[in-house]
């Protein structure tokens, strides 16, 4: 009888939340972070636990989401910084000399692919912006990514602006002279691309700013739409 009472006392449907930090799964990249946000969304949207306080997502876990966003923005900006000059200052002026407009557009989009893809992925999670935990996790993730992209946008513009200002005939002549027989080719090649430095840097910086702001905008607009639908349904019920 005592065993039966003990078994009944331990038979419960209550959710057990572990506090052992060593066993808690931590997201390591953007996809795993979004997957964890999806799990939070299921818990909050299906009403398994009512009104979970935002403190359930601890400071350490919030910083983890922030760092993942920061790392994602850093990788996107790094890919753009590395591929951008290769395509626009070498391949297009000196290799792909006779491309049609469609091929030029296709190859020109390659440096921006990581930026576009991750922006779409980050915008996708706007549908999970419903409860205290999901809001806190999404805000931390998008804030980290936005800060990283905005910093990269500023650095890209400043670097190319400084390069444009320092690219005088005297400076480029002295630099090209270090390459011997290729000095004339480097000198003429630089001044062939110099007029495009600032416009292309402006374009890239604006795209990074847009990629940083667009997910925030999609989250905000979708949240406003959800709140409007809830208020409309409440008015209909009360009427």
Closest CA to 132 of 26, 40, 15: 40
Residue range(s) defining the domain that contains residue 80: 28-238
- Give the lowest-confidence range in 1-10, 67-76, 108-117, 123-132: 1-10
Each residue's pLDDT tens digit, 180-191: 777 888 888 888
Note whether residue 5 is domain-resident. no
For residue 154, what pLDDT band results from cuts at 50, 70 and 90?
very high
Q: Is residue 22 part of a domain?
A: no
Alpha-carbon distance of 207 to 188, in angstroms, equals 29
pLDDT reading at 12 higher than 80: no
Q: What is the tens place of the pLDDT at every residue in 32-42? A: 998 898 888 88
At residue 76, the pLDDT reads: 82
pLDDT at 66: 93
| Residue 23: inside a domain | no
Return d(Cα 198, Cα 159) in angstroms, integer: 10
Residue 212 is assigned to a structural domain of this protein: yes
| Interatomic CA distance for residues 106 and 104, integer angstroms | 5
DSSP 89: I
| Residue 14, domain member (yes or no) | no
CA distance 230 to 35: 26
pLDDT tens-digit profile of 213-236? 888 788 888 778 877 787 888 888
Per the confidence metrics, is the pTM higher than 0.95? no
Number of domains in the chain: 1
Report whether 235 contacts 140 (CB < 8 A): no
Judge whether 152 lies within some domain: yes
> How confident is the model at residue 214, as a pLDDT?
85
Other beta carbons less than 10 A from residue 102's beta carbon: 8
Residue 3 lies in a domain: no
Between 4 and 160, the more confident residue is: 160
């Amino acid at each position: 009888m005592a065993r039966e009472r003990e078994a009944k006392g331990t038979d419960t449907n209550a959710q057990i939340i572990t506090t052992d930090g060593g066993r808690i799964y931590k997201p390591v990249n953007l996809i795993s972070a979004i997957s964890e946000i999806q799990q939070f969304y299921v818990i909050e949207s299906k009403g398994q636990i009512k009104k979970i306080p935002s403190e359930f997502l601890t400071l350490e876990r919030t910083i983890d989401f922030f760092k993942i966003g920061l790392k994602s923005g850093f990788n996107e900006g790094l890919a753009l910084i590395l591929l951008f000059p290769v395509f626009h200052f070498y391949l297009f002026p000196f290799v792909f000399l006779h491309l049609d407009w469609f091929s030029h557009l296709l190859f020109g989009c390659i440096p921006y692919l990581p930026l576009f893809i991750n922006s779409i992925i980050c915008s996708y999670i706007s549908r999970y912006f419903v409860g205290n935990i999901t809001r806190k996790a999404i805000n931390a993730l998008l804030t980290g990514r936005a800060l990283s992209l905005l910093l990269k946008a500023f650095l890209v513009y400043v670097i190319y602006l400084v390069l444009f200002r320092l690219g005088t005939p005297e400076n480029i002549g002295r630099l090209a002279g270090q390459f011997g027989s290729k000095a004339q080719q480097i000198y003429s090649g630089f001044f062939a691309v110099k007029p495009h430095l600032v416009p292309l840097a402006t374009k890239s910086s604006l795209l990074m700013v847009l990629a940083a702001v667009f997910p925030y905008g999609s989250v905000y607009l979708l949240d406003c739409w959800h709140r409007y639908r809830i208020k409309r349904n409440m008015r209909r019920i009360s009427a």
